[in-house]
Chains A and B, each alone.
Chain A
């Protein structure tokens, strides 16, 4: 899958200016970069929720699933929330079990804790097969155990469906565990793209190196 080059301007400030990008099917692409570097904006534009400056779709003809950074629980039980995205109770309970929220199935989703809400939202988006699945910091609110369980679900989804996954994360270790490819954003620009191991071991750009230093890479 190829995205077209585009820019995005908010209040006369260019927050994103990206070239064409290749997002391979069946692979997980991690997007890393500091706060405000444009990761979420990139995700929203790919998902068609925001439009690029020229108002043209950046990715056309493919079904995109997008999990926002902040998940919205519908006013119904956890299980019903998940079933909104495909009436397959067996699949829903398998996902809830994998993410450890099966005991919360009947509870009102509005009353879930932050991490529980994030787990519910991940189950909900994984119910359906998309050509490209964009996850905006899906594990940011989760504890370590849930994070690892979530990563396993994401990996399995990618392998079983053969769809592409774009994973926005602030965790380099998560990128290392999950991603086949890494994209580094900085101030709205793509500063590095390549295989995970290569980018983390020998970043070509000075800014990537400085960014990675914070993580002790």
Chain B
């Protein structure tokens, strides 16, 4: 055990080309999907939290269901849509980074929507009473609401990024864990462990844990900063 960890650290320090490739694929997939999810999820979440319209409750239940969706189920869905019998087979997206990103967007956007909705539903009524009392228009009301949301947006983003980087079901299904092409950290850990080689798996595991630690440190620092 101790010697495998030492070997894993050596592997990280030696900048092993396959390891680097896995890291860059992971970064490409997770950063793109989380940013797309942010762009989609923040406005939807704010609208769901701030406005009252028919069908809102239904959308909230739907969103909560999507938050709980197992990644493999999401992967299965996209596999079927884009495989040889699916309606989108002509795009040839199966086993590409593109489809991995798409599957992850569907997987993590609901998290951002959920975080934003909860925060805004809590904040908007009191804020609105004040802004309307002052005679501000809708535009200014939303600008001030966004300003209140800054920390939530930030933590929603990190949460969704963490989910993207940690999930394996969806990317494995639609990406196929093809070495040098669609292999990301989590799928690589599975692949190498199945082959009986633990070193790369441990190295990747260490990197993942370090990343998670960093994310949480940044979160707790920003919480103090942005809630002021």
> Interface of A with B (CB < 8 Å)?
44, 47-49, 63-68, 70-72, 74-76, 84-85, 108, 110-111, 121, 124-125, 128, 130, 134
Contact = CB atoms under 8 A, between A and B. Distances in A.
B65 interface: no
B193 interface: no
Contacts of A134: 133
A48 B148 contact: no
B228 A47 contact: no
A111 B224 CA distance: 12
Interface string B143-165: 01001101000000000000000
Nearest to B130: A72
B228 A65 contact: no
Q: List 4 tightest A-B contacts by C-beta distance, closest first.
A: A66-B133, A72-B130, A108-B228, A72-B126
Contacts of A110: 227-228
Contacts of A66: 132-134
A111 B134 contact: no
Contact of A49 (B129, B148, B150): B129
A85 B128 CA distance: 14
B68 interface: no
Contact of A125 (B132, B134, B144, B228): B134
Contact of A75 (B126, B128, B136, B148): B148
A140 to B, nearest CB: 16
Contacts of A47: 132-133
B134 A85 contact: yes
Interface residues of B, number: 17
Given A65-B133, A71-B130, A124-B134, 9 more contacts: A44-B129, A47-B132, A47-B133, A66-B132, A74-B147, A75-B150, A84-B134, A110-B228, A128-B134
Contacts of B227: 75, 110
Interface of B: 126-130, 132-136, 140, 144, 147-148, 150, 227-228
B132 A49 contact: yes
Contacts of A71: 130
Given A70-B126, A111-B228, A125 B133 contact: yes
Contacts of B130: 68, 71-72, 121
A76 B147 contact: yes
Most buried by B among A47, A75, A125: A75
B144 A84 contact: yes
Nearest to A47: B133
Nearest to B133: A66
A128 B136 CA distance: 11
A80 B192 CA distance: 57
A202 to B, nearest CB: 35
A97 B173 CA distance: 65
A70 to B, nearest CB: 7
B153 to A, nearest CB: 13
B130 to A, nearest CB: 4
Contact of B133 (A49, A74, A84): A49
Contacts of A72: 126-127, 129-130
22 contacts: A44-B129, A47-B133, A49-B129, A49-B133, A64-B135, A65-B133, A68-B126, A68-B133, A71-B130, A72-B129, A72-B130, A74-B127, A74-B147, A74-B148, A75-B148, A84-B134, A84-B140, A84-B144, A85-B134, A124-B134, A125-B133, A128-B134
